[in-house]
Amino acid sequence: MTSTLRRRPSQRRSAERVERMLDECASLLDEVGYDGLTTKEVARRAEVPIGTFYQFFSDKQGLVRALAMRNLDRFLTRVTDRIAQADLAHWSELSDLAIDEFVAMKRTTPGFAVVDFGEVLPTPGGPALPGTSHMLDAATENSAVVADRLRALVVGLYDKPEGERLDLALRVAVEAADAVLKLAFRTSSDGDPALIAECKQLVRRYLAEHLSVARPAEP
């Protein structure tokens, strides 16, 4: 998250203020949407001076960008925790865990229905606001950043194919899952269970068929 801030909090108090502002941003996204979100209201509800807000965030978009990065970090932490508790025969099975955690965050995490990993969704399931596909990285689409972070998660856990084939497969899997899950949340505000199940099957089969068999790496 710190790479999305104008400056890194140097004290515990400053870090707590940043977290409060992100929390209030998330709550306001659920209450008033992206268009209704204002830096002034975020600062007021977080009980920080507006000048303090601008010490850490350049504008509303910078605030939302930091929230999206925090969302991605928390998502990866949740997936990592699930991996530690699971007994997976093949790393492609990680897709089920990742989809489950994404859906759970859509249902329960404040603001995640509007801004998950960068795209701004004015209505459940999109379409996204133009210009929000590069919120995490100005040079790279959000989905590519997510795929790259998932790749880093896999490295070291499993014997797996390396290089461009893995990169491409994960990018396609992320794009496919994103499209089907958007449809699931357009169909039902809580995510249509049948479509979520189809998403899992689609991604799992794709990864299993397009990548060589991989087993858990030896400790």
DSSP conformation letters of 86-142: ---SSGGGHHHHHHHHHHHHHHHSTTTTTBSSS-B-SSTT-PPPTT-TTSSBTTB-H
For residue 140, the model assigns a pLDDT of 94
Asked if residues 17 and 61 have their Cβ atoms less than 8 Å apart, the reply is no
Measured CA to CA, the distance from residue 206 to residue 218 in angstroms comes to 25
H/E stretch holding 48? none
Residues with Cβ within 8 Å of residue 93, at least 6 apart in sequence: 86, 204
For the chain, count helices (H), then strands (E): 8, 0
CATH numbers and ranges of domains, the chain: 2-210 (1.10.357.10)
Distance, in Å, from the CA atom of 103 to the CA atom of 9, rounded to the nearest integer, reads 31
- What pLDDT, on a 0 to 100 scale, did the predictor assign at position 94? 86
Provide the b/e sequence for 37-48 (b: ≥16 CB within 10 Å).
Answer: bebeebbeebeb
For residue 144, give the H/E element and its range: helix 142-154
Is the Cβ–Cβ distance between 100 and 184 less than 8 Å? no
Q: Which residues contact 123 (CB under 8 A, 6 or more apart)?
A: 186
Per-residue pLDDT in tens (0 to 9) along the chain, 219 residues: 335 776 777 678 889 999 999 999 999 999 999 999 999 999 999 999 999 999 999 999 999 999 999 999 999 999 999 988 887 777 777 899 999 999 999 999 999 999 999 999 999 888 999 999 999 998 999 999 999 999 888 776 665 556 778 889 999 999 999 999 999 999 999 999 999 999 999 999 998 877 654 444 555
* Residue 208 φ then ψ, to 5°: -65, -35
Given this model, what pLDDT does residue 114 score?
A: 97
Contact 136, 65 (CB under 8 A): yes
Residue 2 is predicted with a pLDDT of 39
